[in-house]
Structure formats: structure tokens, C-alpha cells
Amino acid sequence: MDIEEFNKKYAGKCSASIGKGGLTFVKVQNDAATAEICLMGAHVTSYIPKGQPDVLWMSSEAVYKEGTPLRGGVPVCWPWFSKNTAFPDGPTHGVARNLVWDVKDVSCDGSAATTVTLSLSAVPGYEQFWKYAFALEFKVTVASSLTMALKTTNLGKEPFVITEALHTYFNVGDITKVAVEGFDGLPFLNKVGTPANSVRKGTIFIDQEVDEVYQNASGKAVIKDASLGRSITVDKRGSNSSVVWNPWIAKSQRMADFPNDGYKTMLCVETAHANEDARTVAPGESLEMVCIITSKQD
């Protein structure tokens, strides 16, 4: 449906408008929070609980152009995370974040919870990378917490294997004053330099480039941000892996869509099916991965 039709149908629940680069954004505002979702990539670009700064970080150098992934917010990485070894020339982090999704439904639960349901069922232009019949559904519930549920359904006659992630960029006041808890004792792949397996000991503090893929990570993580005086809890269901990432100085300078000093105010803690946590989806079956983000002022 076009924007006028959308706004008429969902009046009082949310609105749609053309934003940067001619992209369409759905805007949600209720008694608990506001949020914005770009239909290209089903990309959540903002989540602001009442009385707080934005929980999500968007790059000031992000490129707003159809077919070009946005930097920041919550990219939907699907049907592979990072590189696809079978198609090394394919887009990094899959094809879903490059495509325009459809709005399937918008619903409200009282005055403080709004759910936007988006769908995707084809990969035009990327058929050589993904030949399977599928349906994707992404439910974004904007309330006192931000809940994102990504469901993959296999519509074909043969199983397929996916890796995926909700590659969440969190807005922090000062990365040197951030502590991340919830990964103590867990094995992880350290992807900085020569990849190596290790085990996390204690709290994560960021004082250099970090790119760590955790396994056996099915529980909560907590980002304690002393500078902004808040704690962000990242809970999840249906995921057994997480990624913690900050590019630090040198990599920030190498990325064209990332400000040179952007590493100072962002941190990714990603809900994933990554590496050893790859999942097989049988014909006719569905797989759901859920991320619940709650931010509280200290």
C-alpha cells in the first residue's frame, strides 16, 4: 500500500513517511516510547523510551540509498551472518537488510505497546545466493522494552541452513566507561587479528578493537553505561550465540560510512545464530529468534 493508504489504515497507531534517500520509514509513538523502522531491511533506526536518550546508535555517515545497508540501529543479518563461504562474493550479512520489506500488520496493546509486523518472501536480484523458498516475519514491539522477533519459515521441500543476527548498535556515552556483563565463563571466537578460541573471564571492558563471537550464550547481557547513567539489558529467546563488537580507532577510519570517532559512542551486542550455532530449518518448519532490550536509568 502507498503511504497515504497506510496512514489512513493505521491512524492512531503509527505513521509512515518518506525520509532520507527517499526511503520509507514507519514511525511509532505511544505512551511508553517512540521508534522508527526503515522498510528497507526492516531496519529499526531509533528506539527512545520515555525520558531517556535513544537506546540505538546510528552512524552520522550512514548511506541512505535503496539496496545499500544502513550503518547503525538494528540490521537484520539473514540468511547468513558475516560472509557466506559458499558465495564469498555475496553481500556481507546476507540479503535481507538490502531489500524492502512489506508491512503485514500493526496492532496495539493498550496505549503503551505497539507491534509492527513486517514480512519478506523473495530476494529479487539475489537468487544466485539464496535459492530456497521461505517466508520471513519480523515483529517489532515498541513498549517499555523493545522486543524484536525474527521468524524464518521453510516453504520448500528441502532443508536449509541459516546463520543470522540482530546486529544491534547501542548508543553509549563514553565507551571507556562501559562494562558488559553476562559472558563470564563462556567460550568465544576472538576475530581480531588471527582468529582464536578463548574463554571470557569476568566483565568486558572496551579499550581496543573487540570482535568476539560467544557460544553457549543463551542468557541475558547487561551494558552498564556510567557516562549516560543507565543499564541496558539484552535478553533473548531461541538464540545460543552472541556477538560483542567495537571497531575502535583504526577500523573506524577505514569504514566510509562510519565517523572516525564513532567508536567512542557505540557498542554492538548482537543476538545471533552464529558459527557453531547455525540452525537447520526443515521443510514446513519455522525458527524464531527473539531479542528483548530494556533500558533503565540508574
Active site amino acids: 167, 270
Identify whether the C-beta of residue 70 lies closer than 8 Å to the C-beta of residue 63. Answer: yes
User: Rg for the chain (alpha carbons), in Å?
Assistant: 18
Phi first, then psi: give them for residue 92, nearest 5 degrees.
-60, 135
* Contacting residues for 223 by C-beta, under 8 A, at least 6 apart: 170, 172, 178, 179, 180, 231, 232, 233, 234, 267, 269
